[in-house]
Amino acid sequence: MQYAGRNPGVRIVARKAIAPHARVYEGLSAGRGGSFRHPVFQRRNLQTPRREVWVTQRTRAFLLPAVQAGRERIVTELGDALTSSAAAAGWRVR
């Protein structure tokens, strides 16, 4: 959270190492609209070599539904974090 400066607000970060799919699933990849492409591998039978096939998959939001489902908890915890930060900075808080 950043309270002042040029960009005050809350920033949510999805680390690529932990959630490499987050950006494309959420539909944030530039120029792709509501879909993204990825490879799948298929084998007709065990005697034929694997063949790479590219498919198009529609994006689907997961962050917004999660935020909406946990709205009350998020607001409470955000308020607690702001209160703690203000107290640590010397503000009188109730």
pLDDT tens figures, 4-58: 778 777 777 777 888 777 777 777 665 556 888 888 877 666 666 667 788 888 8
DSSP 8-class letter at 21: T
Instruction: Quickly list DSSP for 39-71.
Output: EEEE-SSTTSPPEEEEEEEE----HHHHHHHTH
- Spatial distance between the Cα atoms of 41 and 56, rounded to a whole number of angstroms: 14
- Spatial distance between the Cα atoms of 40 and 57, rounded to a whole number of angstroms: 11
DSSP 8-class letter at 30: T
- pTM, 2 dp: 0.47
